[in-house]
Structure 1
Amino acid sequence: MRKRSDLNWVLKWARQALLLSLLFFFVSACGSSGSSEQAIVLKKQLRKVSLVAHRGASGLAPENTLAAVKKALETTADYIEVDVHQSKDGQVVVIHDPTVDRTTNGTGRVADLTLAELKKLDAGAKHDSSFAGERIPTLAQVLRAVKGKKKLLIELKKGEDNYYQGLEENTLRLIREHRAEEWCVLQSFHDPILERIWQTDFVISTHKLMVGKIPLLPIYIDHELKFGNFERYSEATAINIHRYFASKALIKSLHNQGFKTFIWTEDSPKNIKKLFELGADGVMTNHPELVTRAE
């Protein structure tokens, strides 16, 4: 009995050590790369590849603001990516975190603040004093600003503790009201969010976000460690992975399974070029202004 108890303890310790190691890798992998390189020009390619302005042109303006969206519209980016949460009074707002602490002069959870309260916050000064007074936009404001001039990649987020009730339906309603079905794509790390979108009768492209897949093992990481294959995401058109997992073999495997893949988030122009050479269909970057295309 003693030996079995010791064995169980060792196995439990080993599992915890593995999970801690993976968690450490996950945390370190989630940052974006630095951008100290000069701009590059992408040569023409036979296949279509897409540059995605991450949180707008967030290297030039405060992330997820109308200023960042407008800057992105001036670049060669094909997509503008934004994140959405939902306010206390059910309004879809564009912000990355479940709290306002990091990007604004306020504190608290988005879910606990009304739209009127969110609109009082300064979402620009922390990026640069020249953007003081920039506000948290609604998704409706972003849709009106983009107007189909570029595609819009909308990431639906989870609240700090719970999923937002009605976020998927409200997002789809806004897209329908702005007749934006042809130029909007929805993505999420969270399967319940994607499943709720797939269960509607609203036909729109979706992408599954994840960190990546462990080589040679049926293990992948989105917001947690999961086991299995990607068959459950058959309704998604793309599986988007972190740059640290973007190998030629994994990209080829995703293509063979019928998925495209957009890599996040790379700011080095040379590395962006390399990711396209590996077969990436799209690359997200905070600095789309550093990448232009050959005529």
Structure 2
Amino acid sequence: MALPPWPYPLWIAHRGAGKLAPENTLAAFRLGAAHGYRMYECDAKLSADGVVFLLHDTTLERTSNGHGVAGERTWTELSRLDAGGWHSRAFAGEPPATLASVARHCQANRHWLNIEIKPTPGAELETGRVVAAEAQRLWVHQPDRLPLLTSFRPESLLGAKQAAPDLPRGLLLDTLWSGWEAQAADLQVQALICNQALWDRPLVRLARAQGWRMLAYTVNDEWAAERLIDLGLDGIITDRVDLFAPVS
């Protein structure tokens, strides 16, 4: 099967440069850019008042000085948090990032973004809809750099498909659960983003037969990267922006 056009770089900085800087902050994106990366992955969810902001966890404790469920806080409350001090003193006072602020960074540098839709439990469909609609609005003037929307949650990808059907979508897989192939086909995804250990030649053949692009997370060892490149993957998501030099 002929594959659809794929504009994205091979190397993708995980959560910005989320080990060397506080993940999902503008500081992490800037550091990824400083290491030559032209595409980043981030996690997006909704505040209580519907603002799309970046955070991986459901709760605030691990990556900020906040407490409780992030999606139950308004953006005004969230914006006052320190999202950098947990990482190191050098980043103390780094604020949380909105999707809008990250979009400005990417567009100013003509970089790409992989937005993982990371809903608060119970808000899967609505989060997918709002994140996709916001992404479509933010990138309307840069159609050659459209973000890739991904999620582990099929409901969120359904919401994204309903709100912005023209934005590319990808299904994230940590295991090959029963029915995943039919779900991916129903959602009309352009890509599979799998735990690196899942990729082997039979899965590559299946993905190619379906016309799906192939990405892997989170690849931090040279031997693993070499194996995946040999399999012909289209994208490698890594924390080690200091180890892997991205190339066109």
**What is the correspondence of 1:69-148 to structure 2 with a 5 Å cutoff?**
69-147=29-107
- Which residue of structure 2 lines up, in the alignment, with residue 195 of structure 1? 158
Q: CA deviation at 1:181?
A: 4.2
- Which residue of structure 2 lines up, in the alignment, with residue 175 of structure 1? 136
Amino acid at match of 2:111: K
Q: 1:144 touches 1:178 (CA, 8 Å); kept in 2?
A: no
Question: Secondary structure at 1:165's aligned position in 2?
Answer: helix
Q: CA deviation at 1:252?
A: 2.5
Distance 2:134 2:121 in 1: 24
Confirm whether residue 157 of structure 1 aligns to residue 110 of structure 2: no
Q: 1:79 touches 1:150 (CA, 8 Å); kept in 2?
A: yes
Q: CA deviation at 1:188?
A: 0.6
Name the stretch that deviates more: 154-163 or 167-176: 167-176
Q: CA deviation at 1:170?
A: 4.6
Amino acid at match of 1:289: D
Q: Structure 1 residues 157 and 52, CA, compared in 2 at 3 Å: closer, same or farther?
A: same
- Which residue of structure 1 lines up, in the alignment, with residue 179 of structure 2? 228
Q: 1:84 touches 1:93 (CA, 8 Å); kept in 2?
A: yes
Distance 2:151 2:233 in 1: 19
Q: Structure 1 residues 150 and 71, CA, compared in 2 at 3 Å: closer, same or farther?
A: same
Q: Which TM-score applies when normalising by structure 2?
A: 0.87
Distance 2:246 2:45 in 1: 33
Q: Which TM-score applies when normalising by structure 1?
A: 0.74
- Which residue of structure 1 lines up, in the alignment, with residue 240 of structure 2? 287
Q: 1:49 touches 1:276 (CA, 8 Å); kept in 2?
A: no
Q: Which runs of 5+ in 2 are unaligned?
A: 1-7
Amino acid at match of 1:160: P
Q: CA deviation at 1:249?
A: 2.4
Q: CA deviation at 1:49?
A: 6.1
Question: Secondary structure at 2:116's aligned position in 1?
Answer: strand
- Which residue of structure 1 lines up, in the alignment, with residue 4 of structure 2? none
Q: 2:44 touches 2:99 (CA, 8 Å); kept in 1?
A: yes
Question: Secondary structure at 2:124's aligned position in 1?
Answer: coil
Distance 2:170 2:198 in 1: 17
Q: CA deviation at 1:240?
A: 0.9
Aligned residues: 236
Q: Which runs of 5+ in 1 are unaligned?
A: 1-47, 214-219, 221-226
Q: CA deviation at 1:174?
A: 4.2
Deviations 1:44-84 (A, max 9, x none): xxxx8611100001121100000001111223334200000
Question: Secondary structure at 1:154's aligned position in 2?
Answer: strand
Distance 1:239 1:124 in 2: 31
Between structure 1 and structure 2, the one with the greater Rg is 1
Q: CA deviation at 1:92?
A: 0.4
Q: 1:54 touches 1:284 (CA, 8 Å); kept in 2?
A: yes
Q: Structure 1 residues 88 and 164, CA, compared in 2 at 3 Å: closer, same or farther?
A: farther
- Which residue of structure 1 lines up, in the alignment, with residue 3 of structure 2? none
Confirm whether residue 251 of structure 1 aligns to residue 211 of structure 2: no
- Which residue of structure 2 lines up, in the alignment, with residue 242 of structure 1? 195
Distance 2:32 2:197 in 1: 25
Q: CA deviation at 1:291?
A: 1.4
Cα root mean square deviation, aligned: 2.1
Amino acid at match of 1:182: D
Q: CA deviation at 1:270?
A: 3.2
- Which residue of structure 2 lines up, in the alignment, with residue 275 of structure 1? 228
Q: CA deviation at 1:163?
A: 2.9
